[in-house]
């Protein structure tokens, strides 16, 4: 997949661009609804003998246009989004820098400059995708702007338990710790990436060594508690339990940030400084304060057993 970063006004021209079917959207999370849009574009591209292109925007419009309001937390930082889109088979990914000047384009200018100029023959987007200043352009009115040069396909909404699969629903489920529901909506486990950093090394003294994870981007961290996770480190995947928390058994004063600590099963290597990818499968329990080390280690053993059972029953 070729990734092309564009800022407004761009200097690309039609004759240098491969004719394509373009899937359009912000695609935060690259969830099942987004996958449906990209798959629809892929099917059209294959039928028509065109390249499959995807256009997304960065940063999120809420980080640019809603200065007075809280910008949205993102499910997938840009690096992860690029990976997921590549896995879906895109030939080209256009990442448009979202700016106030870009947001001020009329719907017609957007279609002329960002679709026609990029040699797009067919635009595909979800039913709720809007474009142009104040979101005035919709997929229903696309033909007014495409003027027969660019065909359009609208992908209907995807529902799960009578609710629209959306980034908003996923953010809410993540913040509630419901990582199993999040996996269902994403069509894959929720993922965080980071680097293994030095912690207080207390885990190894009680028989449960942990890898402390320093995040490599702004992620939504699930709420404090213990989770069944899978970790990829040095090219191998391990089952484990992850504690997100403030370690109340050891600290009277709450630290500023929760620690993310992973105990990997059947693993005993030094991995400080190594990249690590965490996939979240199940919330086991909330964070607790224990009356001493013995109580804590008994509970960790129980957590570990629950995670092992979960992975045996669900994923093997």
Q: Which long-range contacts (CB under 8 A, 24 or more apart) does 194-203 make?
A: 194/260, 194/275, 194/276, 194/278, 195/273, 195/274, 195/275, 195/276, 196/233, 196/271, 196/272, 196/273, 196/274, 196/276, 197/272, 198/272, 199/259, 199/261, 200/250, 202/250, 203/261, 203/263
State the pLDDT at residue 223: 96
Give the C-alpha separation, 123 to 111, whole Å.
10
State the pLDDT at residue 69: 63
Tell me how many degrees the CA angle 314-29-222 measures, rounded to the nearest 5: 65
Regarding the domain delimited by 2-157, which CATH topology (the fold level of the hierarchy) does it fall under?
A: Rossmann fold (3.40.50)
Tell me how many degrees the CA angle 108-52-114 measures, rounded to the nearest 5: 20
**Three-state DSSP state, 62:** helix
Give the C-alpha separation, 3 to 193, whole Å.
21
Q: What is the pLDDT of residues 147-204, one digit of tens each?
A: 999 999 999 999 998 899 999 999 999 999 999 999 999 999 999 999 999 876 665 5
* Residue spans per domain, the chain: 2-157, 189-314
Per-residue pLDDT for the chain (316 aa), expressed as one digit of tens each? Answer: 999 999 999 999 899 999 999 999 999 999 999 999 999 999 999 999 999 999 999 998 888 887 646 667 899 999 999 999 999 999 999 999 999 999 999 999 999 999 999 999 999 999 999 999 989 999 999 999 999 999 999 999 999 988 999 999 999 999 999 999 999 999 999 999 999 998 766 655 566 778 899 998 999 999 999 999 999 999 999 999 999 987 655 555 555 678 899 999 999 888 999 999 999 999 999 988 877 788 888 888 999 999 999 999 986 5
Q: What is the pLDDT of residues 60-88, one digit of tens each?
A: 888 888 764 666 789 999 999 999 999 99
- Predicted structure pTM score: 0.91
CA-closest candidate to residue 118, choices 143, 138, 144, 92: 92
State the pLDDT at residue 256: 65
3-state class percentages of the chain: helix first, strand second, coil last, to nearest 5: 30, 30, 40
Q: Are 23 and 41 within 8 A, CB to CB?
A: yes
Cis geometry, peptide bond prior to residue 59 (ω within 30 degrees of 0)? yes
Instruction: Answer yes or no: same fold for 2-157 and 189-314.
Output: no
| CATH architecture, range 189-314 | Beta Barrel (2.40)
State the pLDDT at residue 297: 86
DSSP lists the bridge partners of residue 233 as 236, 276
Dihedral in degrees, nearest 10, Cα atoms 122, 125, 131, 135: 150
DSSP 118: T
**Three-state DSSP state, 91:** coil
Give the C-alpha separation, 261 to 245, whole Å.
8
């Amino acid at each position: 997949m070729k990734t092309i970063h564009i800022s407004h006004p761009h200097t690309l021209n039609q004759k240098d661009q491969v004719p394509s079917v373009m899937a359009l959207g912000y695609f935060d999370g690259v969830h099942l609804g987004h996958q449906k849009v990209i798959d629809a574009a892929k099917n059209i591209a294959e039928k028509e003998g065109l390249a499959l292109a995807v256009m997304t925007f960065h940063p999120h419009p809420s980080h640019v246009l809603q200065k007075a309001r809280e910008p949205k937390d993102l499910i997938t930082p840009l690096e992860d989004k690029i990976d997921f889109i590549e896995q879906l088979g895109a030939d080209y990914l256009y990442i448009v820098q979202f700016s106030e000047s870009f947001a001020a384009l009329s719907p017609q200018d957007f279609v002329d400059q960002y679709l026609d100029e990029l040699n797009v023959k067919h635009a595909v987007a979800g039913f709720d995708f809007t474009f142009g200043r104040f979101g005035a352009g919709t997929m229903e009115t696309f033909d007014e702007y495409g003027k027969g040069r660019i065909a359009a396909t609208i992908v209907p909404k995807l529902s799960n338990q009578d609710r629209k699969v959306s980034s908003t629903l996923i953010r809410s489920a993540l913040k509630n710790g419901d990582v199993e529901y999040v996996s269902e909506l994403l069509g894959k486990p929720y993922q965080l990436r980071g680097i293994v950093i030095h912690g207080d090394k207390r885990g190894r003294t009680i028989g449960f060594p942990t890898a402390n994870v320093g995040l490599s981007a702004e992620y939504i961290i699930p709420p404090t508690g213990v989770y069944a996770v899978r970790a990829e480190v040095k090219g191998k995947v391990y089952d484990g339990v992850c504690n997100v928390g403030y370690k109340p058994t050891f600290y009277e004063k709450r630290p500023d940030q929760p620690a993310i600590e992973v105990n990997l099963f059947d693993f005993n290597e030094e991995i400080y400084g190594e990249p690590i990818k965490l996939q979240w499968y199940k919330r086991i329990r909330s964070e607790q304060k224990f009356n001493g080390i013995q109580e804590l280690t008994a509970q960790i053993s129980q957590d570990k057993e629950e995670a092992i059972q979960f992975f045996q029953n669900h994923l093997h």
